[in-house]
A = this chain, B = another copy of it.
């Protein structure tokens, strides 16, 4: 039986957003994910915009009560705390440089947090917030939105079941070409992305490859990087020191090797999010451009293409199926899948149900930590001249 939108938790969580306003790029993805079935989250408040007026206007337009559209997140946390029906969880969809302080304030206000990636600038910051979250008994989830794609769980299951043998080569790519041309008037979202004070120590490594890196960990939880080498460039000079293209080589502890190509100057590329895992018997390959398909290539056998929602897939892959086979679904569906898991995690945490939490696979704060660690190591290698560094 399919999901069909029925509730998985007793009642929808009272939810607010910080950022993600009218002109924000990613805000809509949060809302479409969280509100997909109206049984996991309810959007009741927000500090949607750096411009309070525009934020209020926008909030009202998407159905939030005017008096719960706040000027800034501090006010929101304060006033909502005072309400009986105050918010329980917030999502942060603001530029990177603000995540840390907003996240900290939210936890201190007793809220669960769902935060954009890259989580913070340094792993130290992440570790600090992790302690704080544990102390407060709250969840911090990270919106690696693509990672909600069900076929990744199929890959995870097949690898776990030995269907490809021992992993030898990991081939990762997340590239597009939307920054290939030097823009005369970059959007706000583009401007802050190449400003280290707001973006942090990287551009595409953080913006793009953290998704793919997390997805690789999701599907191969036992694979640990031992050392890596990162070579990065700023093809549009004004972006330096932040990179618009990077290649990473990886050595895993089991002897496997890997590569990651991440880029926003891959001119004309509409199709550049790919994962290929090569094992000693077979390979698995997934491309974002056909998000409901998985290629399974056993050496010496016909190539197999597996299709989302088909009964032959692993139970874990079909667990959250909504539409059934034949019907292509895309990114909004992935977001709905991770938001549903955030809801289940928050509900379990609130109920003290550690058993559920232990078994739930979703991008939690450790996933956020790993993403920041990935960036830190890549940047350290790149800044030392694209040399091998231990993965610390």
Name A's B-contacting residues (CB within 8 A): 1-7, 12, 22-23, 25, 27-29, 31-32, 35-39, 43, 58, 61-63, 164-165, 168-169, 171, 176-178, 180-181, 229, 231, 233, 235, 245, 247, 249, 255, 257, 259, 261, 263, 265-270, 278-283, 288-292, 296-307, 310-312, 322-333, 385-388
Contacts and interface: CB of A to CB of B under 8 A. Distances in A.
B62 A281 contact: no
Contacts of A22: 4, 6
B28 A322 contact: yes
A58 B326 CA distance: 25
Contacts of A28: 2-5, 322-323
Given A6-B62, A63-B12, A176-B326, A300 B279 contact: no
11 contacts: A3-B28, A32-B322, A39-B63, A169-B266, A181-B280, A267-B281, A268-B299, A269-B278, A302-B305, A327-B330, A385-B388
A331 B325 contact: no
Give the dominant DSSP class at A's interface: loop
Contact of A247 (B257, B298, B386): B257
Contacts of A245: 168-169, 257
A29 B268 contact: no
* Copies of this chain, whole number: 4
Given A38-B63, A257-B233, A297 B278 contact: no
Contact of A300 (B169, B289, B312): B312
B235 A249 contact: no
B281 A181 contact: yes
Contacts of A280: 180-181, 235, 265, 267
Given A169-B245, A283-B269, A302 B297 contact: no
B6 A61 contact: yes
B297 A301 contact: no
A293 B267 CA distance: 18
B299 A7 contact: no
Given A38-B35, A265-B168, A268-B301, A281 B180 contact: yes
B249 A231 contact: yes
A310 B386 CA distance: 35
Contacts of A261: 171, 259
A162 to B, nearest CB: 13
Nearest to A181: B299
A171 B269 CA distance: 13
Nearest to A169: B245
A12 B63 CA distance: 9
Nearest to A146: B327
Contacts of A231: 249, 257
The 3 closest A-B pairs by CB, nearest first: A268-B297, A328-B330, A329-B330
Given A32-B322, A38-B35, A297-B267, A332 B331 contact: no
Contacts of A3: 28
Contacts of A266: 169, 278, 283
Chain B CB within 10 Å, residue with most, of A303, A304, A312: A303
A351 B178 CA distance: 42
Given A31-B5, A328-B291, A282 B268 contact: yes
